[in-house]
Amino acid sequence: MHPITTFPSSTATPDHRTVLNAQGIPDDAAVPKRVASLIDEGLEIFTGLVEATGLRAEITVEEFGAIYDGDGRNAPRTPLEGILPDAHRLALFAVTVGEAVCGEIRRLFGEGNPALGYALDTIASAGAEKLVDAMAHDYQEGISQSEPTLSSVRVLPYSPGYCGWHVSGQRKLFDVLDPQRISISLTDSCLMQPLKSVSGVLVAADKEVHDFDVDFAFCTDCADQDCRERIQTVFLDSRGGQ
């Protein structure tokens, strides 16, 4: 059985600036005092309620192939198909900030406090992403220590619902990883509950392997294209950045 990781709240808590950016407020904008206080209040609530947990399970490329195919609804061509053959190691993962935070977001909206509800929602989303980063970082560190020949590999996460991997792939991923153990369940439409949860596969590969051109059919429908940013971190990290 795959061990459960419990993260300290500090690992999941994003910084003030990240939250402001996520709320559409750029670095150079003057932040009204009331908005700054709102973020502080949201961060305090988040720190008090977050129950940050995660699961990770090593898997072979062959085993992952069956999961990745899911219900056969992936895009005809996807970045992972090109990356997988050159991957050194893979691990399934799931992380969550817990139901208490999500329940509080609903309560705040329901009780007519959308400003704080939205602040907490933004914080929780950023928090879930921080947990993915922590999970990827731990995996990369573990590989470097156990296999010194792989010390230059870089780990990036990929999730169902993105980059051509159909969201129905969640079902097979859940069958193998069993994230119900950390209280993440799957709806009929393959959404995770608590909502502020992330699952997928961590891919450990040489940094060049992670790079791909944004020329897939689904890229034109992608609103944020934040894959470029994620890929860039691999190269920054290898130059001592980040």
Shortest separation between residue 224's beta carbon and other proteins, angstroms: 8
Q: Which is nearer to other proteins, 65 or 114 (CB)?
A: 114
Shortest separation between residue 122's beta carbon and other proteins, angstroms: 9
Shortest separation between residue 10's beta carbon and other proteins, angstroms: 24
Give the residues lining the site for other proteins (CB under 8 A). Answer: 23-25, 29, 32, 34-35, 38-39, 109, 112-115, 117-119, 121, 161, 166-168, 187-191, 193, 195, 218, 221, 223-224
Q: Residue 34: which residues within 8 A CB-CB, separation 6 or more?
A: none
Q: Which is nearer to other proteins, 5 or 122 (CB)?
A: 122
Q: Which of 2, 7, 27 shows the shortest CA–CA distance to 128? A: 7
Rounded Cα–Cα distance for residues 228 and 226 (Å): 5
Q: Residue 218: which residues within 8 A CB-CB, separation 6 or more?
A: 75, 163, 164
105 and 49 Cβ atoms separated by less than 8 Å: no
Query: CA triplet 82, 88, 92: central angle to 5 degrees?
Result: 85
Shortest separation between residue 107's beta carbon and other proteins, angstroms: 13
Q: Which is nearer to other proteins, 47 or 168 (CB)?
A: 168
From residue 75, alpha-carbon distances to 32, 95, 156, 219 in Å are 44, 25, 20, 11
Q: Which of 129, 127, 155 shows the shortest CA–CA distance to 45? A: 127
Shortest separation between residue 181's beta carbon and other proteins, angstroms: 21
Q: Which is nearer to other proteins, 35 or 100 (CB)?
A: 35
Strands 4-6 and 197-205 come out as unpaired
Shortest separation between residue 160's beta carbon and other proteins, angstroms: 10
Q: Which is nearer to other proteins, 5 or 74 (CB)?
A: 74
Q: Which is nearer to other proteins, 140 or 199 (CB)?
A: 199
